[in-house]
Amino acid sequence: MSGPVTEWFEVNPWELRVRGAPMHILPRTETLLALSNGHIGLRGTIDEGEPVVLPGTYLNGFYEFRELPYAESGYGYPESGQTVVNVTDGKIIRLLVEDEPMDLRYGRVAEHERVLDFRSGTLKRSTLWTSPTGRTVRVTSERLVSFTKRTIAAIKYEVEAVGEDMEMVLQSDLLANEPVPAPGDDPRLAAALEAPLVADYATCRNKWAVLVHHTRNSNIRVAAGMDHEVYPPDSADMFIRADGDLARLTVAAHVPKGTKVTLVKYLGYGWSGRRSVPALRAQVDAALAMAMRTGWEALAQEQRNFLDDFWLDADIEIDGDAELQQALRFAIFHVLQAGARGQSRAIPAKGLTGPGYDGHTFWDTETFVLPMLTYTIPAAAGEVLRWRHATLGKAKRRAIELGQTGAMVPWRSINGDECSGYWPAGTAAVHISADIANATARYLHATGDETFETECGVELLVETARLWSGLGHFDVSGDFRIDGVTGPDEYTAVVNNNVFTNLVAQQNLRDAVAACQRRPELATEFNVDVEEMARWQNCADRMMIPFDADLGVHQQSEAFTQQARWDFDASVGKYPLLLNYPYYDLYRKQVVKQADLVLALYLRGDAFTHEEKVRNFDYYEPITVRDSSLSACCQAVVAAEVGYLDLAFDYLVETAFTDLHDLHDNVSSGLHIAALAGAWMDCVAGFGGMRDHGGKITFAPRLFDKLTYMSFRLVIRDSKIVVAISHDSATYRLLSGEPIELEHHGQPFLLETHPVTLPIERIPYRKPPIQPKGREPYRRADR
């Protein structure tokens, strides 16, 4: 694992401030300082375009096809993959001072800092630079990707002449087919991403330009446009050009000592697999006209207003750890950026912060990200589920291709088609269908969104339930089995009766029955009859849940506890195991890549007694190596529930600093959005003990000793509440909306106008189980 670079990152509760310009942290900062609204994503590259490690401008749902490599092909293997494309880059504003290009690698940098502001939703920059020829300028800029106008981004760029008059030239670019580093060793991927955009159209006038391109294979078209305001306009010469892959506005100005030249750049993007060049150009023209009419100051104010409202519904406050406070708000802000304005598109595992995982979405979204969005900005969660519903036809066709009924959701995808070329950890991980059903039911309980239920929700629950009804079978003893699947633990593949899969499938079946009973007219529309509902109920009631009576624990999958244990002592220094050992050996041993059975203890906690949770956690903790960023957050939640508060805190810290401290050595390719959402989950579901089983909201808060206070906010059926936790009590406040029935450590109460304060009983300390040697939780050096 990597560690912090605290000499560059300043601790502040509402921002991430990076001081200095060390080249070795550029790969991290380009990701950490990324801006997005879920529709457009801009990596945090330097305004002048260089130095740069991985440039990136991403549009949600914009991809190119590529071949998938197979040593041996087989029936039902996906024929092509999809890869996110770095589209036309509008972030670049080059500066030449007396013909000397501004470049932080040359000359002298007296001051340089960049600030990602979680309240303004902007990336700010200030640099005092002296060129190799001795001219000094101060450059300040502010960049935003609009939450309120989703097709727009904007940059305010100012240069001040320090100490003397000077001639300056600013070049504002739209650049397509920007060179990017080779993406690993796969030549197919490299070929797909080498100059992926084909020019269709270019035009410009005054300070405005538009470029239109399309991809060679997926044939998706993108239009990118820019327009500008320049101050002072009367002291500058300007001209613009546009052709092929480049549009450029050039501004030449004489800047007297102590004065500034200011360039405000507005960017608009439109893309589609169906719409024509004129239609996309018209969309971008309209976006730019709207941006110019709104103006920079109003755009920035709208951004702040949006975030003011968001933080009132989503903030988490803690006392006792300033660095962790910053990390939590960093995490919440980036999850918001990943999903705020996706508008019926997926949330990729890396958001729109980098090309990791090819830009694909996985089960991460529904299991880890949507819980936070559902209870903080529920409309965004609904839009993601609408995207799943929009791809339901492809999932049903995939099920037919594989000889199944219902909907078989792809393990990884951008457009709804399966993109996983490794079926044991892809196609076989069918639990994703139930994960989506689980998220659907949670959203319906939390929002009461009847329109969504009618248009999408019931059908999602019905078609996923049909998958389990056909995929499983009743054995001679009458138990319902689901065989040949892979659960969340990718070190244990293609097994029978994975407990997590069976339990989430069981809930899926029950939720489908309830939805059809609640909306019989929709059940009829989807050809669900009484017999089919009865079968679903019987499958759920007779679901096989493997249990080892001798050990007193649930088996992660059938016969799992009978397998040989992995030799953890011999593996020290060889993590992640998948890079050092063959899957053939991993699959045969008791070693867990990421929380699997333990995740079931949280998501289906209603299926276990408290004593079973303790025994199961104690058994699986020593064999779980956390070779996935998705693991620590799940372990934190269950550790808190069973009373290991110190271990829960350690796992919260590991989760929250996954990207800030680059714990997996890969943050340069994008953030781990699910882990960031997991930090929220650790606070709310872990130390807050929040559960939502069947729409019943309960809390069981307990606080780790080193924290003196924690509060979090939730939105439940339009009622907004805040929960404030100390060591001895918890106070519940209704900020707005109707009274709501809640539960505190098993005690029901009605939260109305007046706050309710209830005691928290201290529990005796229990020593937690140890982890595999060399896989202890991440701990900061100063703690």
Q: Which residues are catalytic?
A: 490
- Angstrom distances, CA of residue 365 to CA of 264, 440, 685, 767: 35, 12, 17, 33
- Angstrom distances, CA of residue 487 to CA of 425, 441, 612, 675: 9, 21, 20, 18
Tokens 């092929």 belong to residue: 244
Q: Are 412 and 362 in contact (CB under 8 A)?
A: yes
- Alpha-carbon gap, residue 81 to 413, rounded angstroms: 8
| Among candidate residues 207, 241, 247, the one with its CA nearest the CA of residue 227 | 207
Q: Are 547 and 553 in contact (CB under 8 A)?
A: yes
- Alpha-carbon gap, residue 514 to 516, rounded angstroms: 6
Cis peptide bond prior to 51, omega within 30° of 0: yes
Q: Quick one: tokens of 476?
A: 């001679």
Q: Are strands 553-554 and 547-548 parallel, antiparallel or unpaired?
A: antiparallel
Phi-psi region of 689 (alpha: psi -120 to 50; beta: other; left: phi over 0): left
Q: How many other β-carbons are positioned within 10 Å of the β-carbon of residue 188?
A: 14
Tokens 């002048």 belong to residue: 48
Tokens 């070929």 belong to residue: 191
Contacts of range 604-608, beta carbons closer than 8 Å, 24 or more positions apart: 604/500, 604/503, 604/504, 604/506, 604/507, 605/641, 605/691, 605/693, 606/693, 606/694, 607/503, 607/506, 607/545, 608/554
| Among candidate residues 387, 393, 427, 423, the one with its CA nearest the CA of residue 407 | 393
Q: Which residues contact 60 (CB under 8 A, 6 or more apart)?
A: 38, 39, 40, 41, 342, 345, 346, 348, 352
Residue 320, phi then psi, degrees to nearest 5: 115, -5
Q: Which residues contact 22 (CB under 8 A, 6 or more apart)?
A: 8
Three-class SS of 119-178:
CCCEEEEEEEEECCCCCEEEEEEEEEECCCCCCEEEEEEEEEEECCCEEEEEEEEEECCC
- Alpha-carbon gap, residue 547 to 410, rounded angstroms: 30
Residue 682 is given by DSSP the state: I
Amino acid at 555: Q
Q: Give helix 673-681 / helix 631-642 axis angle, nearest 10°.
A: 10
Residues in the chain: 783
- Alpha-carbon gap, residue 577 to 493, rounded angstroms: 15
Q: Which residues contact 531 (CB under 8 A, 6 or more apart)?
A: none
Residue 563 is given by DSSP the state: S
Residue 758 burial by CB count (10 A; 0-12/13-18/19+): exposed, middle or buried? middle
- Alpha-carbon gap, residue 618 to 764, rounded angstroms: 17
- Alpha-carbon gap, residue 439 to 370, rounded angstroms: 7
